[in-house]
Structure 1
Amino acid sequence: MVSGVSVAAIATFDVAASVQPSVHLDNETKGPVPQIGAIDGGVNLLVVGSDSRKGQDAVFGPEDSTGDLNDVTMLLHISEDHTNASVISLPRDMFVPIPSCKKADGSGSYNAMSRQKINTTLTYGGLACTVATVEKLTGLDIPFAAEVQFSGVMAMSTAVGGVPVCVAEPIEDLYTGINLTAGEHTLEGFEALQFLRTRHGVGDGSDLTRINNQQLFMSSLVRTIKSADTLSDPTKVYSLAKAVTGNMRLSDSLNNVSVIASIAMALKDIDLSKVVFAQVPTGNVEGGVIPSQPAFKEMFEAVAADQSIQLSGTTGAGTVVDPNAPVAVPADPAGPAGPVDPAGPVDPAATPAPEVVAPSVSVLDESVTGQTAADYTCTAGRTLKDQ
């Protein structure tokens, strides 16, 4: 017992020690650190994927160390009652207004801009600027944020023992160097990273279909993390915690192992079908895309109202339905002994049970593409001859 407690203490200290210097968000205030257990209320957390190669010469080589764009921007929303969650992707080439942001080096501020691509916000003012921009765009308060670089993606996929993905048609991409045959693949490390980065080898070669592919990967990652094989393996759980704290730059509010654990606890019992991955609706303009109204506004009004969102559109051109997806077998309500009244006999003197009110549901416009974590999809691969 003493040995076990000692190992747990060392592991906790090791994970805490791997936490990197944090970033202060404009809307942050000091508050109490929650105890281990599900966080109270809902959560809005912005996850930003940086294309920076700085400090990652071992992967990309010293000659490729430039770049600091948020090419992935995703908002995680967990409902107040912890019954559903959504991960909303904002395309990197979407033109948006950017508020005045403090320069990352503290030397002053950038002026507000009426129209600029969202993936430049990380360059202008770091993680805090990206958060401020998304808050202005969506009308939401976002108290938590995390920036992950390529090394973090590699570490997380390796920590869970690899992420299984389905490829419907071969993926060939000279830019990322990834080549996958049709069929099932379990990806981790550098190969997982290149799968997420590939654009030319997926769908129509656009960033929009790349997001579809990323949603496929994230759905599979969620299923893998929530599986017994991961949650019952202390080594995997510990490695995953290390991957998060050691390879992400977190906001002050999130830069604590207990806070991260409390948010994870809020997610752990949500049914896979209630974890929705959605891409905001957009329309094409020269050089990029813009939010498509009123569907864009309605989407974030539903999130602000803490409604459970439901998709009505397709998974997008980057993915197709997996023909070999497992089929759920409905339970037999009659059972072996015939029909049974689940409520049992009624006691007239008993106090009536409180009525369970189902959370309100908002069906999103069909222009919103995406899938749930329970949906099995395959990448619509693209070969060199189609590029």
Structure 2
Amino acid sequence: MTRSARLFILLGVVLALIGGGAYAAVRVAQTRVDEAIPQVDLFGPSDSPEPSAPPSPSPSPTPPAGADITGPLNFLIVGIDTREAQKGSPPHGDVVMILHVDKTLSNAYLTSLPRDLLVDIPAFKPSRYGGGRSKLTHAMTFGGRVPGKSGTWNIAQGFQLMAKAVSGYTGIKRFDAGAVITFRGYTKLIDALGGVDLYVDQKVVSIHRRPDGVHRAVCRGCEHGYSGPRMTYNVGTRHLTGWQALDYARQRYTTGGEYTRQRHHRQLMKAMLTKALSRDVLTDPAKFDGIVAALGATLTFDGRGRKPTEFLYALRNIRPANLTLTGMPGGGVFTGGGYQGERLDAVQKTYFAALRADTLAAWTKSHPKLVNTR
């Protein structure tokens, strides 16, 4: 499997889409949900919150778990490309998203950072990485190395360095939760939802799949390294199955390149939220079971001491109408004619300043051209 970006699942949105109007179903199966989703320390000991005093006795009746979570909140979600067919291949931080939830816990803002964004990656003792300026995607690899064990990678360690690099770039000092997303279970998750309805905003021709869903043949010397008929996604509202959604959103050889790919990621997340809150999903126990199983095979979560279902409750008011998708403009960096990576335009500084101040509602109103309307 190539290093081309794969669609990944946004933890905050996925938790919201299972939550929201579906919280009654989640509460019934709370233990099963928490047990299904792997939970590990992704931020590392240096970033762990200080131990808190034992909570005082709760009044009767006991409020739902997560009722004491307050906003604003910031989530870091990293999708990794592990090339599962190649044992020992290094993980790459293929897609990076930041979800901000405002103080009311009712409005959410989703943006992306380019995988090839040039950033300062700090030194990291656990992997013996000395620090340097590189593409953001490499932070996962540099941090995930296990000294003395060639071909062995520690994903949680890689996420920790990725979080440090993102914090340094955005000024977000602390993330309230994070997730690593792999793609083994992603197709199953979309299929468990019954597929998604997505507006295809420009014609996209796949380099990876044939119209029947079979992978195109690898071919040396062929365009993009593959040969054979190609799946095409034409403009308009389309119903996509799991493999189609994954294939569509990973394409970056399109008009707009990497920035179009990021936009399609965000649009698909909103389509997933819309479908998850639809009546046919909320009232179908079998679909709920399938979603839980797929999540367990797809993501690893760190709630900084909080369980997934606590965030399910805290984010229960998030709806498609109050999830704002924002894309930061940017372009390539070249030295001596050679491509070095990506840089975002200066407007990103004002976006992250507004995020830190929890004033993104005003920022998005003043930057309407950067908001994805579909």
Q: Give me the TM-score of the superposition, normalised by structure 1.
A: 0.68
- Show the 5 A alignment for 1:110-129: 110-113=129-132, 115-125=133-143, 126-129=158-161
Q: CA deviation at 1:268?
A: 3.0
**How far apart, CA to CA, are the structure 2 residues paired with 1:9 and 1:209?**
38
Aligned counterpart for 2:247 among listed residues 176, 194, 213: 194
**How far apart, CA to CA, are the structure 2 residues paired with 1:244 and 1:37?**
20
Q: Give the AA of the match of 1:231.
A: L
**How far apart, CA to CA, are the structure 1 residues paired with 2:333 and 2:366?**
20
Q: Partner residue of 1:362?
A: 363
Contact kept? 2:91, 2:140, Cα under 8 Å: yes
Match of 2:116, SS?
coil
Supply the RMSD in Å over aligned alpha carbons.
3.0
Gaps of 5+ in 1: 1-6, 55-61, 310-360, 377-387
- Show the 5 A alignment for 1:98-109: 98-103=121-126, 108-109=127-128
Contact kept? 2:34, 2:309, Cα under 8 Å: no
The 3 A distance-change label for structure 1 pair 11 and 82 is closer
Match of 2:363, SS?
strand
Stretch of structure 1 that moved more, 29-38 or 188-197: 29-38
Which string of whole-angstrom CA distances, capped at 9 and with x for unpartnered residues, describes residues 128-168 of structure 1? 11111111111112131101111242232122111112335
- Show the 5 A alignment for 1:298-313: 298-309=350-361
Q: Partner residue of 1:151?
A: 184
Which string of whole-angstrom CA distances, capped at 9 and with x for unpartnered residues, describes residues 213-263 of structure 1? 222212211211222332333333333233223321222626x6xx32232
Q: CA deviation at 1:273?
A: 3.2
The 3 A distance-change label for structure 1 pair 64 and 196 is farther
Matched, 1:244 2:295: yes
**How far apart, CA to CA, are the structure 1 residues paired with 2:359 and 2:185?**
31
- Show the 5 A alignment for 1:259-270: 259-270=307-318
Q: CA deviation at 1:297?
A: 1.2
The 3 A distance-change label for structure 1 pair 245 and 102 is farther
**How far apart, CA to CA, are the structure 2 residues paired with 1:8 and 1:150?**
24
**How far apart, CA to CA, are the structure 2 residues paired with 1:217 and 1:8?**
23
Contact kept? 1:24, 1:252, Cα under 8 Å: no
Q: Percent identity?
A: 26
Match of 2:304, SS?
helix
Matched, 1:68 2:91: yes
**How far apart, CA to CA, are the structure 2 residues paired with 1:296 and 1:166?**
26
Q: CA deviation at 1:23?
A: 3.0
Which string of whole-angstrom CA distances, capped at 9 and with x for unpartnered residues, describes residues 292-323 of structure 1? 22x111101111111133xxxxxxxxxxxxxx
Contact kept? 1:176, 1:197, Cα under 8 Å: no
Q: Aligned pair count?
A: 298
Matched, 1:167 2:200: yes
Q: Give the AA of the match of 2:350.
A: E
Match of 2:119, SS?
strand
Q: CA deviation at 1:72?
A: 0.5
Q: Give the AA of the match of 2:37.
A: V
Gaps of 5+ in 2: 1-24, 56-62, 144-157, 211-229
Q: Give the AA of the match of 1:83.
A: S
Q: CA deviation at 1:191?
A: 2.4
* Larger-Rg structure: 1
Matched, 1:253 2:304: yes
The 3 A distance-change label for structure 1 pair 199 and 215 is same
Q: Partner residue of 2:168?
A: 136
Matched, 1:36 2:65: yes
Q: Partner residue of 1:185?
A: 238
Q: Partner residue of 1:23?
A: 41
**How far apart, CA to CA, are the structure 1 residues paired with 2:202 and 2:258?**
18
Q: CA deviation at 1:289?
A: 1.5
Structure that is richer in helix per residue: 2
Q: Partner residue of 1:317?
A: none
**How far apart, CA to CA, are the structure 2 residues paired with 1:48 and 1:24?**
11
Which protein, 1 or 2, shows the higher relative CO under an 8 Å CA cutoff with sep ≥ 6?
2
Contact kept? 1:121, 1:130, Cα under 8 Å: yes
Match of 1:362, SS?
helix
Contact kept? 2:193, 2:291, Cα under 8 Å: yes
